[in-house]
Every structure is written in structure tokens, then in C-alpha cells.
Structure 1
């Protein structure tokens, strides 16, 4: 304990050391109702197996019925209890009630799915009775809501975000690609199941995708497959090989399907263990090997949808032509014009979107009223516009285009009189209008497609001019080539930001966002696709960002368009550095 030195304020919301275990304290003999409630709330933040100590604050009947894993409610701060209890008028002094209050910001359901919420008032009631115990009457809680109630700092200490992976539906087996499905699991042993972190992740994977993503992905594990009974710990051996014992449901699985199952496990655990899992062995119920898959063999299912090499950066130069910075230079190389009509010629462009194979690009005309698509790998003539907008003002015309991992091109027309979202299958042909049934009065002013092709990030601008970030699920119905496409089930991706001005996907389940909190200054931060914010989400400040660009490969630099400093880049662990004083609309493929 220090006895000298300055006194410093400590932010109680800072995440604690994830290696520190917290043990609950049982209620003392003769504990007052205040002490019982406070002890119960504190014990919910512990690592106690099956919440055994937490249950000691409940009556026997309430303990047997309480389901702590049903729902986790996340509050901005730890819950407040009312200062004084309310006495039950019919039972005199033997029954009291307390009100718990706070600001609710998120929930985590029994599928481990995180749901961000616009901050709202939270209120619930705990009812206590004096019941006979071995040493006389003791106060205990006899009515308690299912689930846990935690402040944000405790939630971040106890839980971690994990991406589990499933295969996108509606694609041939040769095109099979994995899609990240983010969930939250306990940092260490889960009190409810007794499972370590790796086992929790595998168990969650086997239970199937979360409800929001389920309509567009599928697992290769046979329905109902689980871990062999009694398995609570999965640990890679000295050779970083992880053996996963499955139950009888998986015994008859063929080799091709089994290898796809193993790839789901490998990618789910990729960032979860201190040493990377190099090989997964799935086992039958009798312990024999079902199949074995190495990390290098799983790359054919890689979820990033990349072209296989480092992505180049593309931007519009001062003459309105498209130039490329070679990907191998990590943003430091000399720009060079692309081939074809966009790299030279009479057309001046204002924005560019490059297909993920880096063979084709789509550009907007100088005033944003026409979209052109052409090769950037071979010379050719300027094609006729693929899409046009009739809006009177440039800001009401077409958005910057974006390509998904399937090779489809997306653009939105912001025309107030004919607002629409359009998709060009394969980047060619007649644009198809995509239905978006739940815009809630907002208008699409920017869009970005995820590499897996099943999610779209939309900036929706309200009548007051502020914009919010929503993520929608892309559903396709009908035969390939004639499918009907819609964007459904929009959900908030950055509810903590009152105004979002730019965004880009950064990997399979993360976005980088430029925006402001209510009354705050502009900031650049990461958000997860489920709307949660990682502990290290806020990035170094940079002045007046107009646009942001990130690659599928998270090791490539983050790039930004700024007022005054031109195009700047940010490498991991570094500060922003100027790349080009002149140039705009920089993008990575996609």
C-alpha cells in the first residue's frame, strides 16, 4: 500500500485485468435487507461456479427457479438500489421490496447475441422476506428477475467478443465462404456451464447461428450435434492440435463435410487462444478420428473474401482520374494510373469502387449523376452509364459504389423524389431495385457491403441532417440469376454516436466509423457488427475526416480523406501520416 506520492483519480469504468478472478461473499448472519441486496448485486459479478454464493442470497424456491443465463442486461453503470425499502402493508415488517434502476444500453440473450439499445431507463424489483433459518430469521430475496444485471465495466471484464463462423447460403460448394457471427462469452470459466472459454466458443458454434444471421447462413454440423457428454475443457496440445470430441449425431459425417465443420472450428478459435490452433481433429463419440484439418488447408474457406494478395488502394487524383497505390507497399508506394478509360481520357470522376478481384471498377461522374463500369486491368472505351440519377443537386444524386464478395455492384440514388437502392449482378446488366422495408423515414446517403455479401452497412440521414449507422441482412430468394434481393431487419450499429459521417468495413465483423457523440467532437472508432464497442475502439484523433477506408486484412493501414491534410494513413501502433496532399475518395477493393 503506497504511503507517499500524489493522489490520482481512477476511472472506475476502466476494464479490469481479465486474469483477476472475483469471488463472491456469502451473506453474513443477521444481514440487513440493504446488505442482502447489495451482496446479491455484487455477487453477480463473480466467477463463482453455478453462482452458488449468489444463490445463498435467495430463498430455496427462488434459487431453484432463477436462470442467470437467460438474459444479461448491461447498464451504463452498476445498478442503483432504492435507498429505503418499501414495506408490504399486509405482512408488516417481514416483507420488503427494493427498486433497481439504471440506464440500459444493451442486452445479451441466451444465444450470447449482443443487442445494443438506445439508452433508456431500466427498472426492476427485488422482493425480500424474513424466513426461518438454522440461526433464526434471515432476510432473503424470494422474487428476482431471471438473468444478470451488470454495469458496462463489469460486463467488459467478464465477457469477450468472439466471432463464430458459418457458411453463407445460396452459393455453390466451390464458392463456399465463411461468415462471422459475433457473440459474447465469459472470459474464463462460465459459472453456469463450468466450461472454459474455448469450450464455450465451440459449444456456441455447435448450437447454431444467432437468430439475426440464421436466415442467410448455415452450419455444416448435423442438426443437434453437441460435445460428448461431460466435456468442459478443450485445450490444444503441445503441437497446437485441438481435439474436439463430438456426440453420436456427427458419427456418420462424410470427409468433405467434416473438413468444412473443422474449418468452422478453426476460424472460430483463430483469435481466442494464446497460441494459434494449427490443426483441428474432430472425433466420433467413441473417440476415433472423424477428420483432421490444418490451418493452411482451411484457407479455401477463408471468410475475408479477399483476392489472395494484399489489397491495393485506389483514389481519384486532382485531374479526376483513378490511380492505384500497389498493395505490396502498404500505402507507401508511388501512385500509378489504372488501365482503361478511368485512368485517362475525358471523363472526370468523383468517386470509385473497385471489385474485390481488382479487375473491374465502378466510378461516379464529376457531379454524381452517372455510374460507369469498366475494366481497370485492360484498355477499352468509355461505356454508356449503367445507372443515372435525375436529382437536381449533386448531394441528392448517386452514392459512392460498393462491391460485395459475390461480385455484385451496389449503389443508392439519393433523389428525394425517387430514392432507391440498386444492385447490378456481377457488375453488369440492368440494375435491380432492392427493397428496404424499414428505413423509418431515413434516406440512404452512403453504403458499404461486407466481404461475405450477407450484410450491408447503411448511413441513414434524418430530416434534421444527422445520420445514423444501420446494418441490414441481405436476403436472396429465387433461382440464381433471377433472385429477388431485399435488405431486412436493420439494426443500430453505433447507437452511442448521435451523428455518423463516414464508415467502412474492417474485416469480417467490424467497422471503422467517423462520428460524434451528443455534444462531442468528431472521433474515429471501431464498432462490431453487432453494435458493441471493443475496449480499444477509439483511434487516435485526426482533423476533419471526410471519408474512411479499411481493408479486409486488418494489418493493412487505415486510410482517411481529410480537409487540409489530404489522404492520411494509420498503421497498427502508429500515428496518422500524410500519404498524398492531393487526391480524394480513396478506397480499398469492395
Structure 2
């Protein structure tokens, strides 16, 4: 993301450089989102929607600071910001190649070389050209090298890295978050891919272009797009007339395209655009309207938000029970499991199968109404089982100082358990593992030494749907230590430390990067969540079960252990 010219004196300055002292490195991956400015932040920079061009006679320092402000004006292709650049740089500068979000006032420093300056920023995150945001849990610093020259007696920027700089206090006004949607590998579910875009004319086209460019790295191989590789927008706009978005695509979209493929493309475009900028329908064109043909019999309408209901499985009286509407209910036809000292239960979405661990977390069992109890896995430090949509049972275990992730097929046993390839786990110890309700992702809490990590990884599968690998994960920075995390819908995660006697503050995280801290509870032993984090978020203590009400908690007066929603 360097500028167009390179010179020896700027070899180090023109790269994006982190200050070596007193700062943490910006990660290469992380959630997208906006960090709000603190209330009463005296140094918050207000957004400027109609920035001014360079003032006559302005110093180099003033030019650079005003250039940062001018970057908030996206109108007419950032025409005002380009006025601060030399003519040659105006033609090559790419403002949305990289967006740096910063807090406090930027600092400009002159270097020894003539015309060379540095912009120093206290950063909270970056957004790349694809709209993928990387956050840090604590502010970091970054230094940008700049070369200034005089043009007709006025200072102008001759070299600067591509991109703009936006104050975090302005981010909510200047940026929008939008989830792209891709198909799960079996086309049954929509899988969200959270991105951020500058709020400006043409943002609809940018969203379509990002979707055509494919999913974020951690989802590659675990989701699919209906659009063939190489298809692009034929023009840099998506006209919207009477609610209909007309998406003009390059001719590759029609190469060997069946009616089913075209209908899947149109369906994916609709999932991404309907509801955005008053879009109510989508039309695909390639020079002229594309005919979709009669509805293909194999066309599946994917689920956007899989519903897991309002019922949980839990342990009460050393038996598996259901928890529903504030009551504990016996599971009819289920064999007694008391002799196994059950803990950490799980159930399939259909409620047709149950799984649990023994008290030592060394054996994994499955059962069902009218069936016996079967042991399907064993090992050290087994994690709470998780059912995917096809009723594979997932867990992890420690083997010779490393971690294995296992998936056991429906009706399976130790003999046909799949050990997923996940070399990136290394020496990490998995504390919690939950498969998403679309079956395309896994939420993993790991512990490496004394450092906890919240990770999001994609699940690749064979053509027959068997799990194969876990992709290189996305790190989700959280401000507090995390011992457990659960899905609360497709784009929401709840996470929490666990302590028998300390005060704990559970957190709600959006994949867009926003976080909400709940009221503290003493002695949180676990959490559970259903299809959302508003009405189906629970915290368990040694004495009772609490449900969420706003940002506070309501005592359900239920003495149960390890409640868990389906999945």
C-alpha cells in the first residue's frame, strides 16, 4: 500500500511502520467494527462532511493535518483531499485502499531529510480494501512516512501511503457495517461475512464488488459463492430504480450457466442487497436483462437465522432434563444417565439426540429417547460436545501435549471419528468449542500459557459433508479474559470469564466488532445462548440460573447445571 514513487531516502518511511517502543503490534486479523470515543473525550475529532482545500501559505505540518481532515470528505472521488497532493500523486492515490482509525490528535514531525515528515497516530484498528477490519483491544501506534514538495510556492504531498485516516469519534458517521452473505457448502444456510465501507455514493456497487471478490480469509473453503471466479461488475455503479437494483455483470457470468446457477446468483445478490438503500428487488444484467428461466427444482432457499428454539438441555438430579419457560421438565423415553455422573450436555436442534461428558471430562457419550447410552470418544480434557446441523458431535481433547478436534458422525463411534486438520492450534489448550448453527464455522476459546484467545475458524467439508479441516482462524480481541463463549445467532457471540467466587462481567460481541458489557455477576460457572443475545442469554452460578434483562440479570430460581441450547 505504498505510494507510487520510491526513493532510497524514504525506503523505511514509506512503509507502514509501528513505533518500536511502548506499543503493541497491530494484528493481521480481527473483527470488524467501530470503537466509540469515550464520553467527554476532550481530544475527540469531530467529523467534517464538507472539508476545505489547502489554505494559501500553509506550512507542511498544517497541510498534512488538513489532509487528514479532508479524507473525511468522500464526495466527487475525494476531490478535496486530492487538492493536497501533487498532480502526479492525485492520479494514483487510492483513498480506500486502507483506512486507519485513530484516537487523540495526530502528530506531525519533520525528519532530517529535506521535505520528509512523519504522521504519528494512536490507532484502534484498520480497514483494508476489501472492507475487512482489524481491531486491537488496546490502542497501538503507527507511523506513516510522507514527502512534501513545493508547487508554485505552496507545499503539497508528493509521496504518502494509499489510504485515509479517520478519527474513531467520526467512524459511526462516516462508515457503515454490512454483512456479506455466502452460501454454506451445502447451500442450506447464509453465512455472514462482516465488512465495513465508507458511507458515500456508490457504496452499493462497492458491496457487490466485495461479494464478487469472495469471502474473508478464514471463510475461504468453508463457504461458497454462486458466482464463477472472474465475474466482476461491468460498471462501477448499481442503479436503483423504484426499489429495483440493476446489477450489470461481465459476460463470464453466463459461461456454462444453468438456470439453477443463475437463480442461485440472483438469490445471493438479493440476500446481500435487499434492505440496503431501499432495495426491494434485484435484476441481473449482462448488457441486457439475464433470463433466469423457470424455478429450478433443486433450488434451495437458505436459512438466514437458524432458530434453535427456547428450550435448553441441562443436568438436574444427575439426569438430563429440559429447561423451558422457567421450569425443569423430564425428557420422555430417555434412559437414566445417573451412573455416568453427567456434565456438559448438548442436544441436536431436532431434539432427537443428546450428548454429555462424564464428571472427569474423559469420556463422551450419546443417547436418545428409546436408545441406550453409548460411549463415542475418550481422552484428556474433553470439551463440552457440540452438535452441527447434520448431527455430527464435536469435541476436543489433549493428546501428548497438543489438542485434537474430533467430529463423530451420527450413529458413529470411536472407530469412525474424524480428527480435523488444524495445525495452527499448536500447543494451545482448547477450553470451549462451539459449531455455528450453519455448520460452516467453529467458535473456539483457547488458552496458551496464561493468555486466553477467542478464535473464529471456518470448517471445510468433503463433497459428502464430512468435516475435514479448520481454517486459519480470525482472532476476536476481547477487553476481558475469556474462558467460555457461545453463539447467540449467526453474527453474535456471548463470552465470559468463569469464576466460582469472583465478580464476572459477561460480554456480547457482534462480528461487526461492537461489544457490550453486561452487569457483573458473582460466581459465574457458565453461560448459554439461543438464537439471540437479547431474550435467550443465560448465566449459571452455583446456586441458580440467571436470564438477561437489558444489561442486567433476572434470577430464574432454577437449580440446574450446565444448561445449553441446541447446537
TM class by shorter chain equals: 0.7 to 0.9
> Does residue 80 of structure 1 match 2:106?
yes
Tell me if structure 2 keeps the 8 A contact 1:79–1:101.
Answer: no
> Which of 420, 424, 430 lines up with 1:434 in the alignment?
420
Aligned mates of 2:242, 2:522 — CA distance in 1: 46
Spell out, residue by residue over 1:39-85, the C-alpha distance to the aligned partner (whole angstroms, 9 max, x if none). Answer: 0111112333311111111111222221112222333x156223x52
Q: Which residue of 1 aligns with 2:454?
A: 469
Deviation at 1:334, TM superposition (A): 2.5
> Does residue 260 of structure 1 match 2:261?
no
> Which of 176, 199, 202 lines up with 1:195 in the alignment?
202
> Does residue 157 of structure 1 match 2:157?
no
Q: Which runs of 5+ in 1 are unaligned?
A: 1-7, 89-94, 327-331, 392-396
> Which of 472, 496, 507 lines up with 1:489 in the alignment?
472
Aligned mates of 2:523, 2:241 — CA distance in 1: 47
Matches within 5 A, 1:102-117: 102-117=121-136
**510 and 13 in structure 1: CA distance in 2 versus 1, 3 angstrom threshold:** farther
Partner secondary structure for residue 358 of structure 1? coil
> Which of 180, 199, 216 lines up with 2:192 in the alignment?
180
Higher relative contact order (CA 8 A, sep 6+): 2
Q: Which residue of 1 aligns with 2:371?
A: 380
Partner secondary structure for residue 212 of structure 1? helix
Partner secondary structure for residue 153 of structure 1? helix
> Does residue 52 of structure 1 match 2:71?
no
Q: Which runs of 5+ in 2 are unaligned?
A: 1-37
> Does residue 101 of structure 1 match 2:120?
yes
Q: Which residue of 1 aligns with 2:302?
A: 301
Q: Which residue of 2 aligns with 1:142?
A: 158
Deviation at 1:279, TM superposition (A): 4.3
Matches within 5 A, 1:18-57: 22-57=49-84
Matches within 5 A, 1:180-259: 180-186=192-198, 188-189=199-200, 194-196=201-203, 198-229=204-235, 231-234=237-240, 237=243, 242-251=245-254, 253-259=257-263
Partner secondary structure for residue 472 of structure 2? strand
Partner secondary structure for residue 517 of structure 2? coil
Deviation at 1:130, TM superposition (A): 1.8
> Which of 436, 447, 466 lines up with 1:450 in the alignment?
436
Q: CA RMSD in A?
A: 3.3
Tell me if structure 1 keeps the 8 A contact 2:362–2:378.
Answer: yes
Q: Which residue of 1 aligns with 2:545?
A: 567
Deviation at 1:445, TM superposition (A): 1.6
> Does residue 505 of structure 1 match 2:483?
no
Q: Which residue of 2 aligns with 1:552?
A: 531
Q: Which residue of 2 aligns with 1:329?
A: none
Aligned mates of 2:332, 2:45 — CA distance in 1: 50
Aligned mates of 1:9, 1:574 — CA distance in 2: 19
Deviation at 1:247, TM superposition (A): 4.5
Partner secondary structure for residue 218 of structure 2? coil
Tell me if structure 2 keeps the 8 A contact 1:559–1:567.
Answer: yes
Aligned mates of 2:441, 2:161 — CA distance in 1: 34
> Which of 335, 339, 346 lines up with 2:328 in the alignment?
335
Deviation at 1:268, TM superposition (A): 2.2
Q: Which residue of 2 aligns with 1:92?
A: none
- TM-score, normalised via structure 2 length: 0.82
Deviation at 1:553, TM superposition (A): 4.9
Q: Which residue of 2 aligns with 1:533?
A: 513
- TM-score, normalised via structure 1 length: 0.79
**524 and 284 in structure 1: CA distance in 2 versus 1, 3 angstrom threshold:** same
Tell me if structure 2 keeps the 8 A contact 1:501–1:546.
Answer: no
Aligned mates of 2:76, 2:557 — CA distance in 1: 56
